[in-house]
């Protein structure tokens, strides 16, 4: 079947002949393809802008494949610090007039660019797209509209939700839609969550995130109940944490040392600016805590102070990276070290594992649960009580060193040893094995 002519409706309702079909141009023999449109049409490249900041400084970031086997271009904004990524709308694809009497054949519906229509009178058996039912507005389509996503995210920001919570909400909504779940139908959402092979605490988390969406979109939601079973967190050994830090690159090593030495969350660490560090004390202030925790000032060692100062100061943020990039980079280095050191336990370590490690070691040292609560920023002591059940150290599991000079004491302190006694003017230092 041959298509005699393809037409596209203009904004003013008039139709114009198209000069491109199936991604190829129809050119007469001996005619200069470039001269056909010269001086008649503006630039064919669409002016795309970042939906977050409005910048036009964009770079291509792969393709997004749709259910009809077609694809759209994905873009990343160079000016957004959170690596904002969005997909090109079909209506934004460039379209130019095409000559009449084209000899190109129409092989399938995927060969028609989005935003164009086929004239019924000119092609037998084709369907006039103008007569079809327009897509439903809102978020009920097969894929969430970018504008609706932005509107929903803005609403959550106005309600005081953190960026990590907003990203998690959007992630699970996209996951449901990829599984053909109507996210405006609460019963379908319940069925989807119930059929997943997730643990109960994961299902409970998704229920909470969907509840946020339902409230913002005025959807009636009676959440299902999933019993949350508190599990004992994995706590690595001190030498395993040291092996991990020593085997990572400079920036990742500083990040891991900061988490293991202060107990702050990874998201809190990524928000740190250079103004949050007081290198005279030395200490670091958590002024932008997560999950409703308390702001707090945490002491840091001289060794960590030196490591932080070794980082380049090219940005207000100390680490200047997104959570996704840090996590993927960490997993790659961690797994490589686990294979190299023949220690599969390293693969169980995550950013949050180091928070458990810090709290456990701090309680083992002082047996002061209030101090642990303050360092972690917990408002409720019940959240801290779990660490009292994780400590089972024996007295003989210490490594002891003696320092006779100030230089020796400094080196032991930087290595993680703590002074606990003085005998005959000799200072005793110890560190748990």
Asked if 295 and 324 sit in the same domain, the reply is: yes
Distances, alpha carbon 314 to alpha carbons 75, 198, 274, in Å: 25, 41, 11
The H or E element spanning position 303 is helix 302-309
Average pLDDT value over all residues in the chain: 75
CA-wise closest residue to 206 among 221, 291, 34, 350: 221
Q: Which two tokens stand for residue 230?
A: 């508190």
Entry pTM = 0.55
| Rg (alpha carbons) of the chain, rounded to whole number | 30
Asked if 350 and 306 sit in the same domain, the reply is: yes
Q: Checking phi first, is residue 273 left (phi over 0); if not, alpha (psi -120 to 50) or beta?
A: beta
Beta bridge partners of 360: none
- Asked if the structure places residue 192 within a domain, the reply is yes
* Percent above pLDDT 90 for the chain: 32
- Asked if the structure places residue 233 within a domain, the reply is no
pLDDT, greater one: 383 or 6: 383
Place of tokens 């060692």: 301
- Asked if the structure places residue 226 within a domain, the reply is no
Q: What is the pLDDT of residues 142-166, one digit of tens each?
A: 344 456 667 778 888 888 887 778 8
pLDDT at site 82: 61
Asked if 127 and 3 sit in the same domain, the reply is: yes
Please state the domain count of the chain.
Answer: 5
| Least confident window among 45-49, 124-128, 216-220 | 124-128
Residues ≥6 apart with Cβ < 8 Å to 214: 186, 220, 221
Beta bridge partners of 430: 400, 418
pLDDT at site 306: 94
Asked if 301 and 271 sit in the same domain, the reply is: yes
pLDDT at site 69: 61
- Asked if the structure places residue 228 within a domain, the reply is no
- What's the pLDDT band for 173 if we cut at 50, 70, 90? confident
In the predicted structure, residue 422 carries a pLDDT above the cut 70: yes
- Asked if the structure places residue 162 within a domain, the reply is yes
Domain carrying residue 418: 398-432
Q: What DSSP character marks residue 295?
A: P
Q: What is the pLDDT of residues 364-414, one digit of tens each?
A: 887 788 999 999 999 888 888 877 766 665 444 667 788 888 888 888 877
Region 159-186: what's the mean pLDDT?
85
- For residue 197, the domain's CATH number is 1.10.150.130
Asked if 32 and 115 sit in the same domain, the reply is: yes
pLDDT at site 212: 87
pLDDT, greater one: 146 or 141: 146
- Asked if the structure places residue 224 within a domain, the reply is no
pLDDT, greater one: 133 or 79: 79
* Percent above pLDDT 70 for the chain: 69
Q: What is the pLDDT of residues 203-221, one digit of tens each?
A: 998 998 888 888 888 889 9
- For residue 258, the domain's CATH number is 1.10.443.10
Asked if 209 and 150 sit in the same domain, the reply is: yes
- Asked if the structure places residue 324 within a domain, the reply is yes
Asked if 349 and 420 sit in the same domain, the reply is: no
Asked if 333 and 254 sit in the same domain, the reply is: yes
Asked if 267 and 377 sit in the same domain, the reply is: yes
Q: What is the pLDDT of residues 256-296, one digit of tens each?
A: 999 999 999 999 999 999 999 999 999 999 998 988 889 99
Q: How far apart are CA 347 and CA 350, in angstroms?
A: 8
Quick check: 243 and 341 in contact, CB under 8 A? yes
Rounded to 5 degrees, what are φ and ψ at 52?
Answer: -85, -50
Quick check: 18 and 106 in contact, CB under 8 A? no
Asked if 301 and 189 sit in the same domain, the reply is: no
Q: What is the pLDDT of residues 234-247, one digit of tens each?
A: 899 999 999 999 99
Asked if 118 and 177 sit in the same domain, the reply is: no
- What's the pLDDT band for 139 if we cut at 50, 70, 90? very low
Asked if 71 and 118 sit in the same domain, the reply is: no
Q: What DSSP character marks residue 293?
A: P
In the predicted structure, residue 179 carries a pLDDT above the cut 80: yes
- Asked if the structure places residue 222 within a domain, the reply is no
Residues ≥6 apart with Cβ < 8 Å to 162: 267, 290
């Amino acid at each position: 079947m041959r298509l005699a002519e393809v037409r596209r409706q203009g904004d003013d309702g008039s139709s114009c002949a198209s000069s491109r079909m199936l991604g190829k141009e129809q050119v007469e023999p001996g005619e200069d393809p470039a001269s056909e449109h010269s001086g008649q049409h503006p630039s064919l490249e669409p002016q795309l802008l970042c939906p977050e900041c409005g910048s036009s400084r964009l770079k291509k970031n792969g393709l997004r494949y749709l259910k009809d086997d077609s694809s759209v271009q994905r873009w990343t904004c160079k000016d957004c610090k959170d690596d904002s990524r969005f997909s090109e709308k079909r209506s934004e694809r460039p379209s130019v007039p095409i000559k009449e009497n084209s000899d190109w054949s129409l092989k399938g519906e995927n060969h028609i660019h989005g935003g164009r229509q086929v004239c019924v009178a000119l092609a037998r058996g084709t369907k006039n797209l103008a007569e079809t039912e327009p897509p439903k507005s809102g978020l009920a389509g097969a894929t969430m509209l970018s504008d609706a996503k932005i509107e929903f995210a803005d609403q959550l920001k106005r309600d005081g939700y953190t960026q990590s919570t907003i990203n998690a909400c959007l992630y699970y909504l996209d996951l449901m839609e990829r599984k053909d779940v109507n996210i405006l139908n609460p019963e379908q959402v319940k069925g989807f969550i119930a059929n997943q092979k997730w643990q109960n605490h994961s299902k409970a988390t998704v229920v909470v995130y969907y509840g946020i969406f339902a409230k913002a979109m005025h959807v009636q939601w009676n959440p299902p109940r999933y019993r949350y079973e508190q599990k004992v967190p994995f706590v690595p050994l001190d030498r395993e944490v040291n092996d991990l830090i020593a085997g990572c690159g400079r920036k990742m090593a500083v990040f891991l040392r900061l988490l293991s030495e202060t107990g702050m969350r990874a998201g809190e660490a990524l928000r740190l600016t250079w103004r949050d560090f007081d290198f005279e004390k030395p200490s670091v202030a958590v002024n932008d805590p997560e999950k409703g925790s308390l702001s707090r000032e945490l002491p840091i060692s001289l060794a960590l102070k030196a490591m932080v100062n070794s980082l380049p100061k090219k940005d207000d943020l100390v680490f200047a990276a997104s959570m996704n990039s840090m996590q993927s980079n960490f997993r790659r280095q961690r797994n490589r070290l686990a294979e190299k050191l023949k220690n599969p336990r390293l693969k169980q370590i995550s950013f949050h594992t180091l928070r458990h490690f810090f709290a456990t070691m701090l309680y083992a040292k002082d047996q002061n649960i209030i101090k642990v609560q303050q360092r972690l920023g917990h408002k409720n002591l019940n959240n801290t009580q779990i660490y009292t059940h994780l400590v089972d150290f024996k007295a003989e599991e210490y490594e002891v060193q003696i320092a006779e000079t100030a230089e020796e004491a400094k080196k032991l302190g930087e290595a993680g040893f703590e002074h606990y006694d003085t005998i005959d003017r000799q200072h005793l230092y110890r560190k748990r094995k």
